[in-house]
């Protein structure tokens, strides 16, 4: 990426709200049903039917607004966004335009230097999702599945404050954590419950005016967001450096080819002929309602991270990872609480071995075969010198396979560390005696050979000798 260009990104994140029924009808929102079995007359756009607002979406949007420190509109209005598409039988999408429910807010991400960076949230508005066209498996026909039509969405729009693909991903991850903490969305990206459009432009460094942007549609994984933005930035810089101009347009990211392709020129807002929907009353909420919703907010990721740093003295970057989801944070706290002040060691194990093992088998933390209490016992056996960190990995693997608790495995496999100095001393003597050449070289100044001796002793003891004791004894004996 060229030093001469500054990257500017703004995200529009679509979060599917986890309501049981749709935003304006009583049809179910469950994923994966047979086509058109969850679409009622309202979703089919039958003339004469009327939308009825699902109160739950107002509560969820308010929760989100409060979580990002945003202004909650006391009065918001649903508007019709008019366009034609086969999966939109009404000919318009009900959205919010001039008066969205959530106004300006903010959140903080860590930038490349590890500093907190404020990202402005422009607004978040409620809207209904459209249906889906199906082409696969149909001979010269297209099918329309309206199960998704009317599914509630919260569209969260950021200011163009993001300066790299990494920042965009960091911001999107934070929003993802927040909606899951709030339990207003399952955040399932494979099922399309959490996706984003990335608006990307570049400008010469130092220039105030924003460059012309392209909008990359429907990115449904963090990796795709990063790749699509990086590809797009390169594409735009190349055009500009060749003296060309970037066209404002909507582009699609093709993950197979890892490139973006033009889809259509970008509509302007006035193409949609927005107007307030006469079928729906404005939404009015009062202080009392907002206070009641505020009282239901859980501890949020940023606050939890801060608390973890202070309460457990763990590294800030570890606290950031451990607070990604409530389940992970709870796991860590339960395990750390069951050890005697060994929170950082617990953090290392959770982020390292445990997460690695979970990822390998595509398991969620809730499905971990090793409970937090069991992990705490393992960590305690390292800190009380029963086993070394290296042996602990072997014990962990056995625990993962369901062979029992750390204590049971240590006993059954005879993995207890040898802390009896006289036992270690005997082996140290034996190793030195068996390697007179190396011993002479060490004494002649080849310090590095200590590693060789430690290795030999460890081999003799199957890794069970206390490494600190081995080191000390070897040094004493070799220099003596
Ligand atoms: P629209 O509703 O037409 O998509 P908006 O003006 O509401 O457009 O902006 C949508 C998103 O695009 C916002 O996240 C905003 O920050 C971002 N954005 C606007 N202009 C630019 C630009 N020049 N470069 C990058 N992002 C931009
Ligand atoms: Mg847009």
pTM for this prediction: 0.88
Say yes or no to pLDDT of 466 above 90: no
Question: What value does the mean pLDDT take over residues 329-334?
Answer: 98
Work out the mean pLDDT of the chain and round it to a whole number. 94
User: What pLDDT is attached to residue 33?
Assistant: 92
User: What pLDDT is attached to residue 263?
Assistant: 85
204 Cα–ligand 1 center, Å: 18
Say yes or no to pLDDT of 17 above 90: yes
Helices 421-434, 436-443: axis angle to 10 degrees equals 100
Where does the pLDDT of residue 60 fall: very low under 50, low under 70, confident under 90, or very high at 90 and above? very high
End position of a domain, from candidates 413, 442, 466: 413
Q: What are phi and psi of 270, to 5 degrees?
A: -70, -15
Q: Look at 180-189, 326-335, 380-389 and tell me which has the smallest mean pLDDT.
A: 380-389
pLDDT tens column, 143-188: 999 999 999 999 999 999 999 999 999 999 999 999 999 999 999 9
Considering the domain architecture, whether residues 166 and 113 belong to the same structural domain is answered as: yes
Name the H helices within 71-205: 165-181
Question: Is residue 280 a part of any domain in this protein?
Answer: no
Question: What value does the mean pLDDT take over residues 13-32?
Answer: 96
199 Cα–ligand 2 center, Å: 8
CATH number, domain with residue 475: 1.10.10.410
How many structural domains compose the chain?
3
- Residues contacting ligand 1 via CB (< 6 Å): 8-12, 157-160, 199-201, 210-211, 213, 269
Question: Is residue 292 a part of any domain in this protein?
Answer: no
273 vs 463 pLDDT, higher one:
273
Question: What value does the mean pLDDT take over residues 26-42?
Answer: 94
Considering the domain architecture, whether residues 265 and 386 belong to the same structural domain is answered as: no
Closest ligand 1 atom to Cα of 269: 3
CB contact set of 311 (below 8 Å; sequence gap of 6+):
none
423 vs 290 pLDDT, higher one:
290
End position of a domain, from candidates 396, 413, 430: 413
Closest ligand 1 atom to Cα of 159: 16
254 Cα–ligand 1 center, Å: 22
User: What pLDDT is attached to residue 113?
Assistant: 85
CB count, 10 Å around CB of 370? 22
Question: Is residue 279 a part of any domain in this protein?
Answer: no
Considering the domain architecture, whether residues 100 and 156 belong to the same structural domain is answered as: yes
1, 231 Cβ separation under 8 angstroms: no
360, 385 Cβ separation under 8 angstroms: no
Considering the domain architecture, whether residues 86 and 226 belong to the same structural domain is answered as: yes
Interatomic CA distance for residues 166 and 222, integer angstroms: 10
CB contact set of 30 (below 8 Å; sequence gap of 6+):
38
Considering the domain architecture, whether residues 391 and 432 belong to the same structural domain is answered as: no
Considering the domain architecture, whether residues 397 and 251 belong to the same structural domain is answered as: no
Residue 464: give the domain boundaries.
421-479
Sign of CA dihedral 79, 82, 83, 87: positive
Question: Is residue 326 a part of any domain in this protein?
Answer: yes
Query: pLDDT above 70 covers what percent of the chain?
Result: 99
Name the H helices within 149-299: 165-181, 222-241, 287-294
- Residue whose CA lies nearest to ligand 1 atom number 22: 213
End position of a domain, from candidates 227, 251, 272: 272
Say yes or no to pLDDT of 131 above 80: yes
The DSSP H or E segment spanning 452 is: helix 450-460
Question: Is residue 405 a part of any domain in this protein?
Answer: yes
Say yes or no to pLDDT of 88 above 60: yes
User: What pLDDT is attached to residue 267?
Assistant: 67
Closest ligand 1 atom to Cα of 266: 3
Say yes or no to pLDDT of 9 above 70: yes
Interatomic CA distance for residues 21 and 114, integer angstroms: 42
Query: pLDDT above 90 covers what percent of the chain?
Result: 81
12 Cα–ligand 2 center, Å: 6
Where does the pLDDT of residue 224 fall: very low under 50, low under 70, confident under 90, or very high at 90 and above? very high
Question: What value does the mean pLDDT take over residues 30-52?
Answer: 94
Which residue is it, tokens 């080849």?
Answer: 446
pLDDT tens column, 393-417: 999 999 999 999 999 999 998 888 8
Considering the domain architecture, whether residues 404 and 445 belong to the same structural domain is answered as: no
Question: Is residue 278 a part of any domain in this protein?
Answer: no
Interatomic CA distance for residues 432 and 155, integer angstroms: 70
Considering the domain architecture, whether residues 89 and 29 belong to the same structural domain is answered as: yes
Considering every ligand atom, which ligand is closest to the CA of 270?
Answer: 1
SS3 99: coil
Question: Is residue 293 a part of any domain in this protein?
Answer: no
147, 30 Cβ separation under 8 angstroms: no
Considering the domain architecture, whether residues 405 and 439 belong to the same structural domain is answered as: no
Considering the domain architecture, whether residues 255 and 319 belong to the same structural domain is answered as: no
Where does the pLDDT of residue 96 fall: very low under 50, low under 70, confident under 90, or very high at 90 and above? very high
Question: What value does the mean pLDDT take over residues 113-123?
Answer: 94
- Residue whose CA lies nearest to ligand 1 atom number 24: 201
Considering the domain architecture, whether residues 126 and 13 belong to the same structural domain is answered as: yes
User: What pLDDT is attached to residue 122?
Assistant: 98
pLDDT tens column, 253-281: 999 999 999 987 766 767 899 999 999 99
Closest ligand 1 atom to Cα of 12: 14
Say yes or no to pLDDT of 61 above 90: yes
Say yes or no to pLDDT of 383 above 70: yes
Q: What are phi and psi of 361, to 5 degrees?
A: -105, 15
Considering every ligand atom, which ligand is closest to the CA of 157?
Answer: 1
Question: Is residue 316 a part of any domain in this protein?
Answer: yes
- Residue whose CA lies nearest to ligand 1 atom number 17: 10
Q: What's the distance, CA 353 to chain centroid? A: 19
Considering the domain architecture, whether residues 402 and 457 belong to the same structural domain is answered as: no
Say yes or no to pLDDT of 66 above 90: yes
User: What pLDDT is attached to residue 1?
Assistant: 54
Question: What value does the mean pLDDT take over residues 414-424?
Answer: 82
Question: What value does the mean pLDDT take over residues 346-367?
Answer: 96
Interatomic CA distance for residues 205 and 427, integer angstroms: 66
Closest ligand 1 atom to Cα of 161: 16
């Amino acid at each position: 990426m060229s030093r001469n260009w500054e990257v500017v990104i703004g995200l529009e994140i679509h979060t599917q709200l986890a309501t049981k029924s749709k935003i304006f009808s009583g049809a179910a929102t469950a994923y994966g049903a047979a086509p058109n079995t969850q679409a009622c007359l309202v979703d089919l756009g039958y003339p004469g039917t009327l939308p009825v607002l699902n109160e739950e979406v107002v509560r969820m949007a308010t929760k989100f607004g409060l979580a990002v420190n945003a202004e909650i509109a006391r009065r918001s209005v649903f508007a019709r966004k008019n366009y034609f598409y086969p999966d939109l039988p009404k000919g318009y999408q009900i959205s919010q335009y001039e008066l969205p429910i959530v106004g300006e807010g903010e959140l903080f991400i860590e930038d490349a230097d590890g500093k907190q960076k404020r990202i402005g949230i422009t607004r978040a508005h409620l809207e209904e999702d459209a249906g889906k066209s199906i082409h696969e498996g149909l001979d010269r026909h297209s099918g329309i599945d309206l199960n998704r039509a009317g599914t509630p969405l919260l569209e969260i729009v950021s200011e163009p404050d993001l300066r790299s693909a990494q920042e965009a991903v960091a911001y999107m991850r934070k929003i993802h954590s927040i909606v899951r903490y709030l339990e207003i969305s399952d955040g399932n990206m494979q099922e399309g419950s959490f996706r984003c459009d990335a608006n990307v432009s570049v400008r010469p460094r130092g220039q105030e005016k924003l460059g012309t942007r392209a909008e990359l549609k429907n990115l449904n994984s963090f990796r795709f967001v990063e790749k699509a933005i990086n590809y797009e930035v390169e594409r735009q810089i190349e055009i500009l450096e060749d003296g060309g101009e970037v066209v404002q347009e909507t582009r699609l990211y093709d993950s197979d080819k890892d490139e973006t392709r033009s889809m259509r020129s970008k509509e302007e807002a006035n193409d949609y002929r927005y107007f307030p929907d006469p079928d729906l009353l404005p939404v009015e909420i009062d202080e009392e309602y907002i206070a009641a919703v505020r009282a239901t907010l859980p501890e949020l990721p940023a606050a939890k991270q801060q608390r973890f740093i202070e309460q457990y003295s763990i590294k800030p970057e570890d606290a950031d990872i451990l607070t990604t989801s409530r389940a992970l944070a709870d796991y860590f706290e339960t395990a750390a609480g069951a050890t005697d002040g060994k929170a950082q060691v617990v953090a290392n194990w959770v982020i390292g071995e445990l997460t690695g093992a979970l990822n390998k088998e595509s398991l969620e933390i809730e499905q971990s075969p090793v409970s937090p209490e069991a992990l705490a016992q393992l960590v305690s056996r390292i800190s009380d010198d029963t086993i070394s960190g290296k042996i602990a990995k072997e014990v962990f693997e056995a625990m993962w396979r369901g062979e029992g608790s750390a204590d049971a495995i240590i006993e059954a496999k005879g993995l207890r560390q040898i802390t009896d100095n006289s036992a270690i001393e005997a082996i140290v003597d034996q190793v030195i005696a068996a390697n007179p050449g190396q011993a002479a070289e060490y004494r002649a100044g080849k310090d590095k050979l200590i590693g060789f001796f430690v290795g030999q002793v460890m081999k003799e003891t199957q890794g069970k000798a206390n490494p600190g004791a081995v080191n000390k004894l070897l040094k004493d004996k070799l220099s003596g």
